Amino acid sequence: MRHLLIYSIIISFFLAGCNNEDWLERDPKNIITDEQLWNDPQLIQSLMANYYDRLPSMHGVFNTGGMSEIDDAMWSGHFDENWRNDFQFGDDYGRYWDYGFIRDINLSLENIDEYSVQLSDDQKNLYKAELRFIRAFVYFEMVKRMGGVPLVTTQLIYDYSGDPAYLRVPRAKEYEIYDFIYSELETIKSDLEANNGSQTRANTYTALALESRAMLYAGSLAKYNNLMSSPIMLPGGEVGIPADKADDYYQKSLVASRTILGSGSYALYDENPDKGANFYEMLMNKGSREVIFAKDFELSLKVHRFSYDNIVRSITEDNEGSSMLTPSLNLVESFDYLDGNEGTLHDKNADGSYIPYENITDIFENKDGRLYGSVVYPGTTFKSVPVSMQAGVAVWEEGQYEFRVAPNLGGLYEDAALWTGFDGPQDNAQFVTNTGFYMRKFVSEASGASTRGVSAQNWWPWFRMGELYLNAAEAAFERGLEGEARGYVNAVRARAGFPENSITTLTMDIIRNERRVELAFEDHRFFDLKRWRIAHEIWDGSDNSEEAVVKGLFPYRVVRPGHEDHNKYIFNRMRPTRFRRARFFRFANYYSSIDPNVLNNNPTLVRNPFH
C-alpha cells in the first residue's frame, strides 16, 4: 500500500511534466526563425545586404581579368593568365542561369506575407519592392545572356508524388521577360520612394534606370536582330523579338530616362574645371549626384583590389601585381579631339615618316577629357607623380630609325639619359603595360589602396547619369527625335571638355562611339555590341582587323645627335606579342548555351540557336 502511494506520486510527476508543453517548446539559439527574421527590420536589412551583394554582372564590379577579355584592353599581368589574350569565346561564354537566387527572392517575398505581423504596411511594401527590383535585375541579366528564360515568380514545391513534370517551367518568349521587367518596375517604383535618399538601395530612380536600360536593350534587339541577313531566332520566340515592338520599347526607355533627367535629384558630375580630372573624380567621389545606384565598399568591412591589380607599375605600394589590365590603342584613338576631329593619333606623316614630338604627351594634346580620366598615357601623372613611360630609344642609323630597348626598366642609354621608363611599356613582359597605356578609371589614389593589406574602397556604379543621358539619346534618336538626342549627347560631351553643341549632325555611329568612351570598363561594351548585332563584325577573329586585335603604341626617344629631332619623341604602333588571338565572336555567342544538366532536368526547355 505504501508502495502504491509512492508510485502514484512518481507517476503524477510525469503526468504534470508532460502537461507543460510550453516548457519544452524553446526557440533554438543557433537558428533565426522565420518569425524572428520577418518581424525585425534589422535582420531583414542584413538579409537584403546579402541579396544586393549578389546582384549579377558579367565582368563588372572590378573584375580585372574578365574585363581584359571583353573590353578594349588586354591582360598584361602574370604569364599564367595569358590565356585571356589567347582564347575563343566558347559556346557557354557568359552563361548565367541563377534560379537559386530567384528562389531565394521568391521565398522571401512569400515569407514576408506569411510571417510579418509587426511591420507596418509601408515597411513591408518597401522590402517587397526592393526584392522585386533585385528579381527584375536578375531576370534582366539572364535575358541579356540567355534569351527568354523560364519565368518563375513563386516557389516551386515538389509534392513527392513521383512525377515532377508539373515543376518543369518552359522558357518564356524573349519579349515576355522584357515585358515582365517593365511591368514589375512600373508597379514597384512608387513603393521605393522611401529609399530616394539612398544610392546603395533601390529607389524610384534606380527602378527607372533599370527600366531605361532594359527597354533600350529590348528596342535595339527588336530592331537590329531583324536587320540581320538571317536574324537569330527560335520558332517559339524564346529568342528573337518581333520588329514591330521596337518603337514601343524605345519609347518606354525614353520616358524612363526623361523622368530621371528631369527629376533634379541627379546631375552630370561637373565640379572640377579640369575636365579630365573631373571625369576621374566623378567615379571616385562617393555621394556625387552622378551616381544613381552603386555597390559600395568600405575599408573596415569589404574591399576590392582593383587598384592593386591595375595601378601604374612604379607607383604601386605592394611588392607584386600591378599593371594587369592595360587599355588598347584602339580605345585611346576612339576618344575624339576637342576640335571635333576624329581621334586617330598622328604618329606618321602621309609619306610614312615618323612625326617627332617635343614632349611625350604632345601627341595626346587636345583629346577628349575622358581620355585622361580613363587611361594613364605616357607623360601624364598618377597620384600627382609623373609616370615614367618610354619604350626605348630610336637611334638613327643608315637612313632609318632602329628601336633599341633597355635590358632593365629604368635603365639609362649611352647618352646618360633615360632608355626605357620604369613603367615600360615593354613587350612580352608581365606586370608592366604591353600596350603603352595603364588604367586610371576606378583605380584609387587613396593611400594604401594598391596594397593587398589595405585595398580600395571606391564604389562600383551600377547606374549613373552618363549612361542615362546616352540611353536617352539613343532612344530619342531611334524614335526620330534627332534634336532631343543631340542635346543629350552634347551635354555628355560638354562635361568631357568639348565646346557647347559640339555635334551638329548626330548619327548612330556617334552615339555608339560615345557609349564606348564614356562607359568603357563599366560592363557595357560587350552587351552593346551584342544588342546592336555588330559583335560578330567588330570581333571577326581576323588578325588584320583593327577592332578584333588589341594594339599598342610605344613611345621612343630619338637619338640623332646634331639633328633637330634629337631627343624628341616618335611613336610606333605595334601588336603586343602577348596578344595572341584576335577576338572572335560567332553567331553562337549572341546567346549562350544552356547547361546540359539543366536541359536534362527540364526537357521542356528548347536549346538556343547554334547550340
Minimum CB separation of residue 88 from other proteins in Å reads 8
Q: Which of residues 62-101 bind other proteins (CB under 8 A)?
A: 88
**List 187, 417, 596, 604, residue binding other proteins (CB under 8 A):** 596
Question: 3-state class of 304 per DSSP?
Answer: strand
Q: Which of residues 493-552 bind other proteins (CB under 8 A)?
A: 536, 540-544
* CB nearer to other proteins: pick between 403 and 584: 584
Closest CA to 498 of 478, 518, 483, 479: 518
Question: Does residue number 600 form part of the binding site for other proteins (CB under 8 A)?
Answer: yes
Question: Does residue number 165 form part of the binding site for other proteins (CB under 8 A)?
Answer: no
Closest CA to 57 of 152, 137, 172: 137
What φ, ψ does residue 295 adopt, rounded to 5°? Answer: -100, 115
Minimum CB separation of residue 237 from other proteins in Å reads 17
Minimum CB separation of residue 549 from other proteins in Å reads 11
Minimum CB separation of residue 610 from other proteins in Å reads 5
Question: Does residue number 588 form part of the binding site for other proteins (CB under 8 A)?
Answer: yes
Count of other CB atoms within 10 angstroms of residue 501 = 12
Minimum CB separation of residue 535 from other proteins in Å reads 10
* CB nearer to other proteins: pick between 448 and 541: 541
Minimum CB separation of residue 487 from other proteins in Å reads 37
Question: 3-state class of 448 per DSSP?
Answer: coil
**List 42, 161, 319, 597, residue binding other proteins (CB under 8 A):** 597
* CB nearer to other proteins: pick between 305 and 536: 536
* CB nearer to other proteins: pick between 193 and 595: 595
* CB nearer to other proteins: pick between 30 and 597: 597
Minimum CB separation of residue 537 from other proteins in Å reads 9
As a residue count, the chain comes to 611
Site string for other proteins, 140-159 (x = CB under 8 A): --------------------
The DSSP secondary structure of 76-115, one letter per residue, reads -S-GGGGGGGS----TTTT----HHHHHHHHHHHHHHHHH
Alpha carbon separation from 222 to 158, 200, 228, 241, 532 (Å, rounded):
37, 32, 11, 5, 10
Minimum CB separation of residue 360 from other proteins in Å reads 30
Q: Which amino acid is at 20?
A: N
Residue 190 in contact with residue 204, Cβ under 8 Å?
yes
Minimum CB separation of residue 171 from other proteins in Å reads 17
The DSSP secondary structure of 553-578, one letter per residue, reads EEEEEEE-TTSTTTT-EEEEEE--TT
Name the segment binding other proteins (CB under 8 A); options: 97-105, 106-114, 326-334, 592-600: 592-600
Round to whole Å and give the CA distance between 372 and 539: 26
Q: In angstroms, how far is the first alpha carbon of the chain from the final one? A: 87
Q: Which of residues 218-237 bind other proteins (CB under 8 A)?
A: 228-230
Minimum CB separation of residue 589 from other proteins in Å reads 10
Place of cell 563599366: 522
* CB nearer to other proteins: pick between 436 and 609: 609
Burial of 113 (0-12, 13-18, 19+ CB in 10 A): exposed
* CB nearer to other proteins: pick between 114 and 537: 537
Question: 3-state class of 395 per DSSP?
Answer: strand
Question: Does residue number 30 form part of the binding site for other proteins (CB under 8 A)?
Answer: no
Round to whole Å and give the CA distance between 171 and 151: 7
Q: Which of residues 555-584 bind other proteins (CB under 8 A)?
A: 581-582, 584
Alpha carbon separation from 310 to 27, 435, 443 (Å, rounded):
50, 13, 7
Q: Which of residues 401-460 bind other proteins (CB under 8 A)?
A: none
Within a 13 Å sphere around the CA of 428, how many CA atoms are in the beta-carbon half?
Answer: 4
* CB nearer to other proteins: pick between 245 and 581: 581
* CB nearer to other proteins: pick between 575 and 581: 581
* CB nearer to other proteins: pick between 131 and 588: 588
* CB nearer to other proteins: pick between 201 and 533: 533
Q: The C-alpha cell of 303 is what?
A: 574591399
What number of chain residues touch other proteins (CB under 8 A)? 23
Round to whole Å and give the CA distance between 12 and 536: 84
Q: The C-alpha cell of 56 is what?
A: 549579377
Question: Does residue number 340 form part of the binding site for other proteins (CB under 8 A)?
Answer: no
What are the residues binding other proteins (CB under 8 A)? 88, 228-230, 536, 540-544, 581-582, 584, 586-588, 596-597, 599-600, 609-611
